[in-house]
Structure 1
């Protein structure tokens, strides 16, 4: 039996509202167990997607105090890329979402790295600061 590689999605949510992540995810996954009513520290949860287990983690204070990193890991994921995930989150949460462009490889220089920023102005590649 071939072992599938665990995949992950990571997005950054600005000024995360309580319950926003679970409210968004519950329409995309099954059996969601995530208490994001308060995100004062790391919050971990689980869900199922197409029968496969997903691990979900929220890390507040990523890139300064205003962003929370959301990481979803599993053999199968509801979105094909960080950007697809960010678009879905932005439509529901209506707050700025950022994600990596996804073409960076371990070991490459990170000079003036561009990120996708999704907000009321649209989708743009920006330098983080």
Structure 2
């Protein structure tokens, strides 16, 4: 199982489904309401993807997007973040590498993509 996880600042309702619809097939994600966890699914290369949005994942301004499946549309969290940033036009953050749940993030650094470009930053 592969997964991609990015954090989206000030996510607008419906924005994730509008972005993903051009990257996956059979998208079923109702993200018009972001008051709680939103779960959906899609297909990529004929295989099922699970899609989950966790609003207020890092403070009140960020929503975590988790995409899980045996095959995923991007090769890394950073590639996914780049695609999201181009379409969503809001700050996107992701871990710097092959981070696994329960492990510390390398030196507390995250990729931040925004109008200033791509930079590794401490989350705060």
TM-score of the pair, normalised by structure 1: 0.91
Deviation at 1:105, TM superposition (A): 5.3
Match of 2:18 in 1: 23
2:95–2:105 contact (8 Å) kept in structure 1:
no
Please tell me whether residue 95 in structure 1 is matched to residue 90 in structure 2.
yes
Take 1:64 and 1:25, find their aligned partners in 2: how far apart are those partners?
A: 24
Query: 2: CA distance between counterparts of 1:37 and 1:112?
Result: 36
Q: Does 1:44 align with 2:44?
A: no
Taking structure 2 as the reference length, the TM-score comes to: 0.95
What are the ranges of 5 or more consecutive residues in structure 2 without an aligned counterpart? none
Secondary structure in 1 aligned to 2:86?
helix
Give the alignment partner of residue 119 of structure 2, picking from 117, 120, 124. Answer: 124
User: Alignment RMSD, CA only?
Assistant: 1.5
Query: Which residue among 65, 74, 79 is the counterpart of 1:70?
Result: 65
Runs of 4 or more above 3 Å deviation: 103-112
Q: Which has the larger radius of gyration?
A: 1
Secondary structure of the 1:85 match is helix
- State the Cα deviation string for residues 21-46 of structure 1 (Å, max 9, x = none): 00000000000000000110000000
The secondary structure found in structure 2 opposite 1:71 is strand
1:48 to 1:110, Cα distance in 2 relative to 1, 3 A: closer
Q: For residues 44-99 of structure 1, give each alpha carbon's deviation from its aligned partner in whole angstroms, at most 9, with x where no partner exists.
A: 00000000000000000111000000000000000000000000000000000000
In the alignment, the residues of structure 1 paired with residue 64 and residue 98 of structure 2 have an alpha-carbon distance, to the nearest angstrom, of 19
- The verdict on how the C-alpha distance between 1:80 and 1:38 changes in structure 2, with shifts beyond 3 A counting, is same
Distance 2:101 2:14 in 1: 33
1:14 corresponds, among 3, 6, 9, to 9
